[in-house]
Amino acid sequence: MYRWETTQAVTAQRVFGIIRTAGPDEAVIAAEAVLDAGLHAVEIALTTPRALTALARLAETRPDALLGAGTVIDAAAARAAIEAGARFLVSPSLHPEVIRAGHRYGVPVFPGVATPTEMVHALEEGADALKLFPASAVSPAWLRDVRAALPQAPLLPTGGVTIDNAPEWIAAGAVACGIGSALTSGGAPSTGERVGTLLRRLANSR
């Protein structure tokens, strides 16, 4: 895929899963639960011990999944994640070298931003979409106001997004939301139920 095609695919369902666990085995189990429940895109946070091991295992067993790496904050981590199978990169903050590294290998990058100034800077650096982080610090109304001034900003609220408020973020203009523990806590059966509920709510809110 081209970068823009991957970005479209990651955001098509209006949500992607975020996996942050105590180790690679737990990460694989959590990611598989999210994917089996119907989500197409999932991010493995590099704060997970041996996260690249989990990413490589998933890339081998789930070749059709849209696997990403999160918490990527330098070019070395970006390249390592891509070599392990990441098809998109996400950062909690803005690191131009991560954007350059991702683009060098045809991989889209979603850096973290928290203000309109950072959004514009990230767009100028070539970001493919913008991770609004932490979303819990603002509100859907705030996002709506920002997008009135920056309608070209493709925003991905992450951090504090829940099944209940995700439709509000989408209605305010977010292209998709990143959701972690609100989806994955409680094991595979609970994850499946939450993902199904979330997808139905997002479909009804469009």
Please compute Rg for the chain using Cα positions. Answer: 15
Please state, in angstroms and rounded to a whole number, the distance separating the CA atoms of residues 53 and 160.
27
Whether 32 is catalytic: no
Whether 83 is catalytic: no
Q: Find the catalytic residue in 26, 32, 131, 168.
A: 131
Q: Find the catalytic residue in 43, 83, 97, 124.
A: 43
- Residues with catalytic function: 43, 131
